[in-house]
Amino acid sequence: MAWVAAALMAAAVSFSLLRIPIQIPDSLVVMLQAQAASSAALTNFVGEQGFLRPVYMSQTRLLLDAAAGARYFLVFRGFHVALVAMLFILFVMAARVRTRTDLAAFAFALVVLTGHHTFRGNVWESYPVNHYLEIAIYCLAAFVICQTRGGWWADLLALLLFVMASFTIESGLIVWVVVVVARFTGLRGVSWRGVALVSVALAAYMYVRFAYYGSGTPTLDDRAIGFGLGRIDRGDVAARFGDNPSVLYGYNVITSMMSVLFSEPRGGTFEMTRRWLAGEARPSVVVSAVSALVATGALAWFGAVRFRAWLSRRFDSDDQVMLVFLGVTAANAAICYVYTKDEIMSTAGVFYALAVFASVRAAMTRFALFPRRRLASAMMVLLLFAGSASWTIRSIGLHYHMYYSGYYLRNEWASVDRWLVEQHVTPDTPDAVRLVAALKTAAIEMPMLNPQFLPRWAERWFA
């Protein structure tokens, strides 16, 4: 039943995903660059200021070659759907559902996974390959390996996952955190030898990036940021924080963790708070607050109950899930010290849903042992009902936002030629012209209902 529930959810997400054209700003130029490269572009983005991403372009080039000059949308979106399917498969494997109580908690976790705002970027953003979704998959795969009985193959696979993830994007370093915390909490899938191998690979990554290539880290003026109740333009970030960047760094790390736990702020901006203060208390604001309080409240309850056991280093399977989540969230937030947005924290969002599963399962098991405590049991039922209802609304809202994204991304393709001129990019080869024309045709011919025909209540509940 857990597999069936996950398959239905994955199918719904994939259906909405296939109705979204490839986005222009973060995808088209990268695709043109990869297409113009003479090889699989393994050296592109190596040594670029602030980044070390050799896998980033090579994946794009391989998919372009697989498209055979015409089926660009089908290949790239098909690969994206395959990634979504892999995420749900690994999520089921990591949860290890065995009982009816597990199944009930898992159903709750599924709507938390798809309803969390960080998940939205996993399923509609493309660069043109959604590398944040890939990192979540790498980290989940590493955790599943840690849950096995282990062997030399597990150590080797953990090392391979780390290398692929770290050279895809910086968030890939979180794989090391998953392996280390999992081993510390008693999971034996990856041995201490495997932990040592991954740690050596981490040291090698640091040397190659900072010593050999000297690529450094992103600068303050790379992009606009969210701060407080609004946003700061790109040109004003360095002027405001250049003398004391630690203020911005601390703010980004703290708010990134808050974003996962409390669904606020979003991308560094306290959007829901701003709406509340402005008198725009839509139902979506209440839904977001209630859902986050119930789910994070379950995590807090579990931590309070099990804290003494953690100090004694006595960990059961739920403890292991929870502690890996805490490690992943801390590491994910640390990576956001210069710049934070929801998509970057998507790996922590996935493990948040897994930790909610463990906490809710523990709560249901604990209160089932005391049937005479009717008041406590009734309170738990009411809390879980409020939490599951609000998270279900947010999960449905994912498809609402994906539909809107598809509509506006489709409209952008109507003026793609003007956009390319503004970016000083000229498709000057037959393959480049064919690429732009094929993606434009696929977008414009995609059947799409104007959002003006959607029900008005949906905006109040989902926006």
Tell me the pLDDT tens digit for each residue of 360-381.
999 888 876 566 667 777 787 8
Residue 86 · residue 137 · CB < 8 Å = yes
C-alpha span between 118 and 108 (Å, rounded): 17
* pLDDT at 44 (0 to 100): 44
Cis peptide preceding 265, ω within 30 of 0: yes
For residue 266, give the 3-state DSSP assignment. Answer: strand
Distance in angstroms between the alpha carbons of the first and the last residue of the chain: 32
User: How many whole angstroms from its chain centre is CA 366?
Assistant: 31
Q: Flag the least confident range among 56-65, 98-107, 230-239, 260-269.
A: 230-239
Q: What would the mean pLDDT of 286-296 be, rounded to a whole number?
A: 93
C-alpha span between 58 and 56 (Å, rounded): 6
Tell me the pLDDT tens digit for each residue of 377-387.
778 788 889 99
H or E stretch covering 196: helix 192-206
* pLDDT at 173 (0 to 100): 95
C-alpha span between 416 and 433 (Å, rounded): 12
Phi/psi for 228 (5° steps) reads 65, -130
Tell me the pLDDT tens digit for each residue of 311-357.
999 999 999 999 999 999 999 999 988 888 888 999 999 999 999 99
Residue 166 · residue 131 · CB < 8 Å = no
Residue where the block lists tokens 């880290």: 217
Residue 36 · residue 27 · CB < 8 Å = no
* pLDDT at 372 (0 to 100): 63
- SS3 assignment for 222-248: CCCEEEECEEECHHHHHHHHCCCHHHH
Tell me the two tokens of residue 399.
Answer: 């498809």
Which of 156-170, 260-274, 400-414 is modeled with the greatest confidence?
Answer: 156-170
Which residues have a Cβ under 8 Å from the Cβ of 306 and sit 6 or more positions away? Answer: 318, 319, 322
Q: What is the pTM of this model?
A: 0.92
* pLDDT at 41 (0 to 100): 44
C-alpha span between 252 and 225 (Å, rounded): 10
C-alpha span between 119 and 341 (Å, rounded): 12
C-alpha span between 87 and 89 (Å, rounded): 5
Residue 261 burial (CB count, 10 A): 16
Q: Tell which residue, 191, 188, 162, 139, has the closest CA to residue 55.
A: 162
User: How many whole angstroms from its chain centre is CA 51?
Assistant: 19
Sequence ranges of the domains in the chain: 2-462
Decide if pLDDT at 47 tops 50.
Answer: no
Decide if pLDDT at 61 tops 50.
Answer: yes
Tell me the two tokens of residue 344.
Answer: 């970057």
* pLDDT at 450 (0 to 100): 83
